[in-house]
Structure 1
Amino acid sequence: MLKPNKYLLILLTTVVAYVLYEYYRPKPINWEPTYQNDDKIPFGTQALFELMPDAWQGAPIKTVRLPVYNFLTETKLPVRSNYVFVCHDFNADGNDLKKLLSYVGRGNNVFISAYILPDSLSTLLGFKADEKDPLKADSTLRQNFVNPQLRKAGGYNFFHDDGRNFLMINKSQHVMVIGRNARNEPTFIRVQYGKGQFFVHNLPLAFTNYYVLDKKTSDYAFKALSYLPVLPTYWDEYQNQGRFDADQQSVFRYIRSQPALNWAYYLVAFGLLSYAIFAGKRTQRIIPVIEPAKNTSLDFVKTVGQMYFQQGEHDNLARKKIQYFLADIRDQYGLNTTVLDREFIETLSRKSGAPNDETDELVRLLRNAQKSTLLSEYDLLTLTRAMERFKQAL
C-alpha cells in the first residue's frame, strides 16, 4: 500500500484550514463602492433595485448585462422605455454612444449617474463633468433639488462624498438644471435630445444602500428617479459586473470573485509550485556513477614488456623502450631526437626542469645503447631506472 505524500497532506491541511478560517471569521464591513444591484454592502444598490418596482407602479424593471451597442441592436424593445446607469465610470465607445443617442432621439429616456462620463457625450449634450480629488476636500457640500416640491429643508448630506463635483454647462438651450449643491453649482441636469431626454447626475453614491436605507437621505434617490416616466425600465449592470450573470458564472470565475476562495486558489498554486520545485528534487532518479574509461594501451604495453622480459628478449625490449621514450620527448618538448649531442642535453634539461647531471647521464646511456649491437638484461634495467628517475624528477 502506498504511503500518502507528507508534503501534499501539509498543503491540503493548510488550504482547508485557511478556507474554514476565512469562512467562519467575522467579516469586516466592505466599504468599496461597487454599485452592483445584487450587493448588500453599504455602497451596493440592491435596496434601490428591489424597491423600484413599487415606485414604478408595476412597470417591469429588467437587468441588462450587455454593452449598450449589443443591447440596443439585439433586443426587441417596447415603443418607449427608460435606460438607467448607476456606476462610477460610464464607459461607452463611439458605437455605444451612436446607438444610445439614436435610442433617446426616438423618444426614450436615459438616466446616468456617474462621476466620469465620456467627453464625446458631454460635449455633444453641452456640459462637462470632472471628478474632484476627494483627498483635497475641505468640507461636505449638501445637495438639493431645484423644484420647490422636491426640495428638502437643509438639503441632503452625503458625507461619504464631499459634494464638490458639479456639471459645467456649456449650452443652456436644451439643458435644464434639476439639482444643485450648496454652492449653487449644477449636479443634476436634464438634456432634451430629439424626442427623448438624458438625465445626467454626478453623485452615484446617493443611490447606494447606505443612503437609500438612511431616513435622512432615503427619499433622494426616488425623487431623482421620479423624473423618469413610468415605463418599462432597463437597469444596466454591464458597467459594474460585466457581461456574465450568476447563471453564466464558471466555477473558476466564481472562485476568483470570492476573496477567501481567491486567496485559497493562490495558496494552492504556490504550494503546488513549491512542491514541484523542492519535492521533485528529493525524489528524482539517482544519477548512476560512470567510471572513466581505462587506458588499456598502458596495460597493453606492460603486458608486452613482461612478455619480452620473460622470454629473454632484453635487447628488443630495451630498444623499444628507447623508441617510446624518445617519441614522448618529441611530443612533449618538441625536440629533435636524431642527434643526442650537448645542445640536445642542455635544451632537454632546460625545458623539462630536470637536473643537468641526471639529464646528461640519461642521454649518455641512450647513446651507448643505440651504438651497442646487443643489450643485456643489465643494460635494460639500467636504462629503465634512468628513464623512470627522469620522469619522477619532472
Structure 2
Amino acid sequence: MKPNKYVLILLATITAYVLVEYYRPKPLDWTPTYENDDKIPFGTKVLYELLPDVMQQANVSTVRLPVYNFLTETKPAVRSNYVFICRDFNADGNDLKQLRAYANRGNNVFISAYSFPDSLGSVLGFKADVKEPNKADTTLRQNLVNPKVAKSGGYNFFHDDGRNFLTITNSQRTTVLGRNARKEPVFIRVQYGKGYFFIHNLPLAFTNYYVLSPRTSDYTFKALSYLPALPTYWDEYQKQGRFDEEQQSIFRYIWSQPALNWAYYLVVFGLLFYAIFAGKRTQRIIPVVEPPRNTSLDFVKTVGRLYFQQGDHDNLARKRIQYFLSDLREQYSLNTTVLDKEFTETLAQKSGTSLTETEELVRLLRDAQKSISLSEYDLLTLNAAIERFKHQTV
C-alpha cells in the first residue's frame, strides 16, 4: 500500500520541529517561577538545596498540598517552620485558620510574597502596599535592621522595581526586621500565640540569581537566620500544585515541555487539516457563499476580553505597548527602539500633541517596559494614556 503523502508531510514536519527545538540554543528564561526544581535565574533550586544546612536538618520536606490539607491530614513535627516563597500568597479562609492555629502552637510561618490576603493582614496588623508606576526605582537599596546583620550600603535587587512595601497597622506584636532606603518596612516579625509569622515583601531576594550573586547572597541566609533550627516544610503547592514528577501524567509532562507542547498542537491541527483535505477528495464540494465580514475588530475585542477576564494584565499591557509602538513606526516613520528625549520631541512634532502630554505618555511606556510585572492599575493607566494620545491626533 502506497503511503499517503499528507501523512508523510505531517510526520516530517513534526520531526523537524522537535529536532530544531531540541538542538537550538535555549534563550535565558527570566520568568519568576520561584519553583524549587527550576535552575533559571528566578527559580529557587539553589536555596532549596542549601536550606537543610541553614536549618541544621537532614532534609527539608516539600509540601504539595493546600495548607488546610497538610496541617489537618498530616502530622507536622511538634515544633517546626513552614516556608512559603512565591509571587502571590493565595490562601482561603480555611487555610489561614489552620495556619494561624499552627503558629499559635509555637511554630513559625515564613512567607515571602508580593501580595497577601487582606484577611491575613487584618489579623496580623499589616498591609502589603505598592506605589504608583512613576515611583518605580530599580536602584532602591534594602537592608536588615539589626546592626549585627546589616550590611554597609545595603543590598540592591535591581530586577525588582522597588514599589512594594509593608504598612504596619498594629505595632503591638510587630518587630520590623528589614527596611528599604525609604525607611519603609519590607520584612517584619509578628508574634502570634506561642509562635511567629515572618512576613517578607521581596521574594526575588530568595531566587537563584540573588542567592548565587556575591553581592546579595548573604541577605538570604541572614533573613532566614531568624527562623530557629527546627524541622522545616517548604511549600510548592502555591507554585506547582499537587502533583510532583512521579505523579505527572503523560499529558501533564507534554504540556510542561514547550517543544513537546507545540508538537502536540501540530499533531492535532495536522490531523484536522488532513481530514479536511481528505474529505475534499472523497466528497462533493458544496459551495457556501457568505457575505464579506471584517472580523479583525471582533477578534481583537475577544482576545482582549479573554486576557482581561483571566487577569493576565501583564501580558495584555505588553501587547498593548507592542501594537501602539508598531502604529507609531508605521504612521510617523519613527524608530521606537530607544524611547529617549529625541524620540519624545520628534513624536510631539509629528503628531501635533503638546510636548508635556507626549513626555508623560513616553514615561509611562518606559516604566512599563522596565517593570517585571504590570498590574490591572498599570494596564488601565497605560491604556487611558494611549487612547488620549490617539484621540488628540485624529
TM-score between both structures, scaled by the size of structure 2: 0.71
SS in 1 for 2:221: helix
Which residue is 1:175 aligned to? 174
1:208 aligns with 2:207: yes
Which residue is 1:26 aligned to? 25
SS in 1 for 2:19: helix
Distance 1:242 1:11 in 2: 35
Structure 1, residues 75-133: CA drift from partner, whole Å, max 9, x if none?
11211110000000100001100110111101100000000100000111000003446
Matches within 5 A, 1:252-331: 252-284=251-283
Which residue is 1:66 aligned to? 65
Matches within 5 A, 1:1-394: 2-132=1-131, 137-284=136-283
Distance 1:82 1:138 in 2: 33
Give 1:165 deviation, angstroms: 1.1
Give 1:280 deviation, angstroms: 2.0
Give 1:59 deviation, angstroms: 4.6
Larger radius of gyration: 1
Kept in 2, the 8 Å contact 1:33–1:43? The answer is yes
Tell me: CA distance 1:270–1:134, structure 2 relative to 1, closer, same or farther (3 Å).
farther
Distance 2:130 2:68 in 1: 26
Q: One-letter code of the match for 1:76?
A: K
Q: One-letter code of the match for 1:233?
A: T
SS in 2 for 1:221: helix
- Of residues 55-64 and 95-104 in structure 1, the stretch that sits farther from structure 2 once superposed is 55-64
Structure 1, residues 276-296: CA drift from partner, whole Å, max 9, x if none?
112222134999xxxxxxxxx
Distance 1:168 1:36 in 2: 28
Q: One-letter code of the match for 2:127?
A: K
Distance 2:282 2:16 in 1: 27
SS in 1 for 2:114: coil
Q: One-letter code of the match for 1:150?
A: V
Distance 2:117 2:282 in 1: 59
Kept in 2, the 8 Å contact 1:143–1:163? The answer is no
Distance 1:81 1:59 in 2: 14
Structure 1, residues 175-203: CA drift from partner, whole Å, max 9, x if none?
10000000110000000001100000000
Kept in 2, the 8 Å contact 1:39–1:46? The answer is yes
Tell me: CA distance 1:230–1:242, structure 2 relative to 1, closer, same or farther (3 Å).
same
User: How many residues align structurally?
Assistant: 286
Runs of 5+ consecutive residues of structure 1 not aligned to the other structure: 288-394
Give 1:55 deviation, angstroms: 1.6
Distance 2:233 2:138 in 1: 36
User: What is the alpha-carbon root mean square deviation over aligned residues?
Assistant: 1.6
TM-score between both structures, scaled by the size of structure 1: 0.71
Structure 1, residues 233-270: CA drift from partner, whole Å, max 9, x if none?
00000001111001000110000001111111111111
Which residue is 1:309 aligned to? none
Tell me: CA distance 1:29–1:195, structure 2 relative to 1, closer, same or farther (3 Å).
same
Distance 1:269 1:286 in 2: 24
Give the share of equivalent positions with the same residue, in percent: 77
Structure 1, residues 151-177: CA drift from partner, whole Å, max 9, x if none?
001100000002231100000000100
Tell me: CA distance 1:180–1:251, structure 2 relative to 1, closer, same or farther (3 Å).
same
Tell me: CA distance 1:144–1:286, structure 2 relative to 1, closer, same or farther (3 Å).
closer
